[in-house]
Amino acid sequence: MERGLIVTALLLLLTSATTNAGGTRTLLSPGPSFREAPAFRNGNGCPSPLSQESTIHMAMTLDSTYLRGSIAGVLSVLQHATCPENIAFHFLASSPRPLRRIIASTFPYLSFRIYRFDTSLVRNKISSSVRPALDQPLNYARIYLADLLPKSVPRVIYFDSDLIVVDDVAKLWAIDLGSTAVLAAPEYCHANFTSYFTSRFWSDPLLPDAAFGGRVRTPCYFNTGVMVMDLERWRSGKYTAKLEWWMGVQKKEARIYELGSLPPFLLVFAGEVKGVEHRWNQHGLGGDNLHGLCRDLHPGPVSLLHWSGKGKPWLRLDAGRPCSLDGLWAPYDLYIKRSTDGAVERFADD
């Protein structure tokens, strides 16, 4: 832990002041700091970490708003993995440099790469939604994973930044996508699928059939915060362009949905998704998109807890108004909270 604190302190010293043209030093507010995670090593029987065939590829986004959640998610993955040294993380960020330093100091033994996501790819394709956070360009970065990650990565697990796992991700990685599926995710066929699109969409004489005509199964809702993605099939099927096409319809022709990057995925993939056990996405723990009220777990076993919705566990914990399930997230919080004078106020989990 001492080594991690020293590295973090040095980074803060380097980034906490700047020099103006007159040579005067101006203090800036310190950035977020995190204590160093333990080194997680492979258990008995794990294949060599040097073997490409045994690597589990994980993808997440990184930004200043959700960095605390991303770091907690990474820690949870490593802590519950039988073969943590066989896990490689691929992070997408619009400003990679400062985030790379934080990840490297917090997880000095982590195998990872950070890719710059050019927000201009989607900035003119995004239409407003029910919650401003859903309109951020990085929320759409998952659409471009197959374009940004090297072709040597054939498959990836994508995770949102507001979740933790309490199981070995190797079980999720082992999902059989069959001969044609591009995505695997938990499906929720009891949900009202029609509610994810506007009446303008459903009343159009062409759009519903253009989207869902000829699907293998009845389209069902799935949450895009947890997906197993076959990147080779994605590239060969040109799915990035298909998602962008529906975003263009929304932006230029008719308002057909209200929920950010989710509806384009439903339009392209619903009814063609390989189903995964619901235990791998106990979602909605952040409440709805307007109020973020507390929610309970869905019935059944749990492998992953997902605070999708407006309420985030770190914000509710800091405000002193946590929901009961937020306490399950807290042990993975590596954030060093500081008082108003910059002194360390507490260590998470100390």
Maximum Cα interatomic distance, the chain, rounded to a whole number of Å: 67
Average confidence score pLDDT of the chain: 89
- Residue 312 in any domain: the answer is no
- Residue 254 in any domain: the answer is yes
Q: What's residue 341's pLDDT?
A: 53
pLDDT at 198 over 50: yes
pTM score: 0.88
- Residue 5 in any domain: the answer is no
Digit-coded pLDDT (tens) for 240-292: 999 999 999 999 999 999 989 999 999 999 999 999 999 999 999 999 877 78
- Residue 224 in any domain: the answer is yes
Digit-coded pLDDT (tens) for 9-57: 444 444 444 344 344 333 334 578 999 999 999 999 999 998 889 999 9
The Cα–Cα gap between 127 and 346 comes to 41
* Reported confidence tier of residue 131, pLDDT bands at 50, 70, 90: confident
- Residue 291 in any domain: the answer is no
Digit-coded pLDDT (tens) for 81-127: 999 999 999 999 999 999 999 999 999 999 999 999 999 999 999 98
- Domain extent at residue 185: 54-277+329-347
Q: What's residue 286's pLDDT?
A: 95
- Residue 183 in any domain: the answer is yes
Q: What's residue 128's pLDDT?
A: 86
- Residue 64 in any domain: the answer is yes
Q: For the domain that residue 233 is a member of, what is the CATH number?
A: 3.90.550.10
Q: What's residue 75's pLDDT?
A: 98
DSSP track, 71-116: HHHHHHHHHH-SSGGGEEEEEEESSHHHHHHHHHHH-TT-EEEEEE
The identity of residue 221, as a single letter, is Y
* Reported confidence tier of residue 199, pLDDT bands at 50, 70, 90: very high
Structural domains in the chain (count): 1
For residues 194-208, average pLDDT: 97
* Reported confidence tier of residue 133, pLDDT bands at 50, 70, 90: confident
* Reported confidence tier of residue 340, pLDDT bands at 50, 70, 90: low
* Reported confidence tier of residue 5, pLDDT bands at 50, 70, 90: very low
The Cα–Cα gap between 296 and 28 comes to 41
Q: What's residue 122's pLDDT?
A: 94
pLDDT at 234 over 80: yes
The Cα–Cα gap between 308 and 306 comes to 6
CA dihedral 263, 268, 270, 274 (to 10 degrees): -130
- Residue 17 in any domain: the answer is no
